[in-house]
Structures are given as C-alpha cells and as structure tokens.
Amino acid sequence: MKESKIRTSRFEGKVAVVTGSGRGIGRAIAAALASEGASVVLNGRDTGRLEDAENEIRKITSKVKCVSCDLSEPAGGQFLIDETIKTFGRLDILVNNVGVSMRGNFADLNPEVFRMMFESNVFSAVNVTIPAIRHLRETRGSIVFISSVAGIRGLPFVSAYCSSKMALRALAESIRIEESGHGLHVGLIQVGYTENDPGKETVSADGSMIALQPRAGRGLLSKEAVAKAVISNIRNRRFITTLSFLGKLNAAIQPVFPGLVEMLLIRNLRRFREKCD
C-alpha cells in the first residue's frame, strides 16, 4: 500500500535539495519529500547529523545523497547544485531551509549578530538559488523559502532575525516576477512556534551561541506539520503559506491595523522578554 502511494505521487521522478536538513524542520521536510517519491539531496555542515538523517531516509528510499558544504559562501552553493546534477541529472525542488535565530535587545547587540543572521538566513539562500535557477527553469520547478511569522513585522528582542526573514520575502517576490515567464513556482513558508531538537542553539546579544530550551505549550507546531505544509505548498504551487493561528491572525491584521498590532505587542512586551531569556 505504501509503495503504491509512492508510485502514484506527484513527486515520483523529481529531485529535491533541502538545505539545513541534518536535523529539525529540514530533516522532516526531506523525509516527507522522500515519502512522496522524490530523490532527496541532504545538506548541512555537520557530517554526523547528515549521516544520521541519511540513515533515517534510507528506510524510505535509496534515492538519497548527502552534500556537506557551507552555503554562506557562493562556492558552497555552486558545489551543492553541481553535485545534485552530477548524481541525479536534474533539479525540480529547492527548499531553502538553513538558518539560525537570535535573542537580545537591539541596543545591546554586537553588530556581528546582524552579519551572522544575514549570512545564514539570506546569503545561504542566495548562494544556492542563483546556480539552481537555470536547472529549475528546465523542469519548471519550485523554489521554497522557509521563513517565519517573525518576517511579517518586526518583533521585540529578535530584530536581526526579523530583518533577515523579511528580506526573504522581498527575495521571493522579486524572483516570482523575474521568473514568471519560465513557469517557476516560488513559495514562502511563514513558520510559527515550532518544536526544536535537543541541543539546538541560537545567537545571543554578544554573538556567542547559547542553547535553546526545549519548547512546549499550546500552539506548538510539530516538525512534521511544517513538512506537510511545505509539501502542500509545492504540490499546489502556492506563494505564501502561513502557519499557526497567531501567525495567520498577524498576517491578516498587520496590513490593515498596524497600530493595533504594535499596541498589542507593547502590552505583551514582558511575555516576549521572558520567552527570549
């Protein structure tokens, strides 16, 4: 029954690259694409995590490859795409998932934090998407950016992170227009509050890495739920998919009543501070 589903899947014969897929959301997306019949290229800098992810996905399909490289450099993005084409001969789906978050009051930030955010969250996407586009034109494929509800409007104590995620929307919008004649699909996934893997880190105000506490509570999205939303976005060739009730509410209210959203954020400033401490 499972094999029958894979054979009739819309992703059978497709090749997908998922950046930052050694763990977390990226790993869940890669597993979901493999379950739908796609050949999957995993990417990250930690070879141990990549091997673990590969072992998991090989239980679903043998059509998987790991490419360890640093996408913050253009050479890394080119290498990832070259290895994909060399192995599978085509590219249909690129999921730009690699990224990092931060915590800290803007006035206390080491400016280096902004460089770290943009190198990881924006430059990594740029460096792999540029060499990927000519191959995606041939397959009329999909480019998906994993963004955040923090990219809808600026939030307190995550200014550098919000800035980088807002930049992804501008990038996605520009590519959609420029590539409209080539039939490319561009998707933007605005992820809400999602469970994180043990050992996941974030960037502190001084630029050092600190461990994130495991997340819990109402409204917490599972990694599998995010992966399912990504699959749906690609299958239906949607532009923006916003996850979580609060995320959808923010997306609806912010353009119409920005002053109201700001007032609510100020009233709940202490909660944001407690979440970020």
The CATH number assigned to the domain holding 216 equals 3.40.50.720
Q: Is the pLDDT of residue 6 over 90?
A: no
Average pLDDT over residues 260-274: 82
Q: Is the pLDDT of residue 157 over 90?
A: yes
Sign, CA dihedral 86-88-94-97, equals: negative
Query: What share of the chain in percent tops pLDDT 70?
Result: 94
Mean pLDDT of the chain: 92
Report pLDDT for 3: 42
**Number of structural domains in the chain:** 1
Identify the active-site residue in 11, 79, 88, 161: 161
Nearest Cα residue to 21 out of 61, 60, 49? 49
**Higher model confidence: residue 97 or residue 211?**
97
Q: Determine whether 161 is an active site residue.
A: yes
Range in 64-78, 110-124, 192-206 with the lowest mean pLDDT: 192-206
Provide the residue range defining the domain that includes 54: 2-276
Report pLDDT for 215: 75
Report pLDDT for 214: 76
- Taking the C-alpha atoms of residue 79 and residue 84, their distance in angstroms, rounded to an integer, is 9
Provide the edge-to-edge strand list for the sheet that holds 185-191: 64-68, 39-44, 15-18, 93-96, 142-148, 185-191, 240-242
- Taking the C-alpha atoms of residue 76 and residue 82, their distance in angstroms, rounded to an integer, is 10
pLDDT digits (tens, 9 = 90+) for 81-133: 999 999 999 999 999 999 999 999 999 999 999 999 999 999 999 999 999 99
Range in 12-26, 48-62, 144-158, 259-273 with the lowest mean pLDDT: 259-273
**Higher model confidence: residue 25 or residue 245?**
25
